[in-house]
Amino acid sequence: RKPVSLPRLADMHARGEKIAMLTAYDATFAAMADAAGVDCILVGDSLGMVCQGLPSTVGVTLETMRYHTESVSRGLHRVQGTTWLIADLPFGSYQQSREQALASATVLLQAGAHMIKLEGGGWTTDTVRFLVDRGIPICAHLGLTPQTVHALGGYRVQGRGDSAARLREEALALQDAGATMLVLEMVPAELSAQLTLELPHCATIGIGAGKGTAGQVLVMHDMLGINLGKNPKFVRNFMEGAGGVREAMEAYVRAVKDGSFPVDAQHAW
């Protein structure tokens, strides 16, 4: 398989081939995801909860993101991986100024990331343009943005009713600023499907956002059934019926590509 690149992702979006993304936080799981044919790996700051046992992603530091990004990148290099590697800027590493965002993004790019993700709309538009102008591929993130969970009042659906128009404006501005990917987390399926059509240059990646997006992402531990708590409704455990982790990841990629994941019943919003 040829390496996944920005033009290749744009082509997938244009042709309507669904983009399959999973999170990974270490070398071995990254290599497994690559072998399973995942298009993109996200070193998400969800690692704060999954790996570090933090109560939210707010406490994750840039140094921790650098460490895990480097581990994942080494894992991919070891198997001559072809997967596109995205890393999250953690809370506090990009809010201060565009210059701070550039310095933080540089740390993650030097650790091996190909693309940088940051949360929020409105004020982030300038930062995104600043980074894109300097040659950094950017993934934005709207809807439920876990770094601001306290301000949002909990892990709940976003972009309902009146707030849909604002989310749409923010998304269009982010595409205008040069963001080429946009994670939509827990937003109504109708809204994310509409945005996907309105953003030809920015591939929407949904999580709890219905099936109308250009791609899907799940936290790897969730889709492997590796957790004690109750999964969010939008998660499917792909280990059920699979012979192992590799098979489960392959089933996930297949299900995203053929549109059988997610199903409508997985988002009542």
Q: Which does 70 bind (CB under 5 to 8 A by kind): Na ion, ligand KIV, none?
A: none
Nearest residue (CB) to Na ion, 147 versus 180: 147
Task: Note if 250 is an active site residue.
Answer: no
Neighbours of 197 (CB within 10 A): 9
Based on the shown chain and the rule CB under 6 A, indicate whether residue 70 belongs to the binding site for ligand KIV: no
By CB under 5 A, name the binding residues for Na ion: 44-45, 88
Based on the shown chain and the rule CB under 6 A, indicate whether residue 38 belongs to the binding site for ligand KIV: no
Based on the shown chain and the rule CB under 6 A, indicate whether residue 222 belongs to the binding site for ligand KIV: no
Residue 119 assigned ligand-binding role:
yes
What is the rounded CA–CA span in Å between residue 9 and residue 25?
A: 22
CB of residue 147 to ligand KIV, shortest distance in Å:
9
Based on the shown chain and the rule CB under 6 A, indicate whether residue 253 belongs to the binding site for ligand KIV: no
Based on the shown chain and the rule CB under 6 A, indicate whether residue 39 belongs to the binding site for ligand KIV: no
What is the rounded CA–CA span in Å between residue 21 and residue 83?
A: 9
Q: Are 85 and 73 in contact (CB under 8 A)?
A: yes
Residue 26 assigned ligand-binding role:
no
Give, in order, the Cα–Cα distances in Å from 159 to each of 15, 145, 164, 190, 269. Answer: 27, 12, 4, 10, 10
- Annotated active-site residue in 170, 185, 240, 250: 185
Say whether 126 sits in a helix, a strand or coil. helix
**Among 4, 12, 19, 23, which residue sits at the site for ligand KIV (rule: CB under 6 A)?**
23
Q: Which does 183 bind (CB under 5 to 8 A by kind): ligand KIV, Na ion, none?
A: ligand KIV
Cβ neighbours of residue 75 closer than 8 Å, sequence gap 6 or more: 24, 26, 27, 28, 29, 30, 31, 34, 81
Stretch that binds ligand KIV, among 2-10, 32-40, 43-51, 261-269 (CB under 6 A): 43-51
What is the rounded CA–CA span in Å between residue 176 and residue 7?
A: 17
> Residue 98 phi/psi, 5° resolution?
-65, -35
Residues that bind ligand KIV (CB under 6 A): 23, 42, 44-46, 88, 183, 185, 207, 217, 219
Q: Which residues are annotated as a binding site?
A: 45-46, 88, 117, 119
The residues carrying an active-site annotation are 185
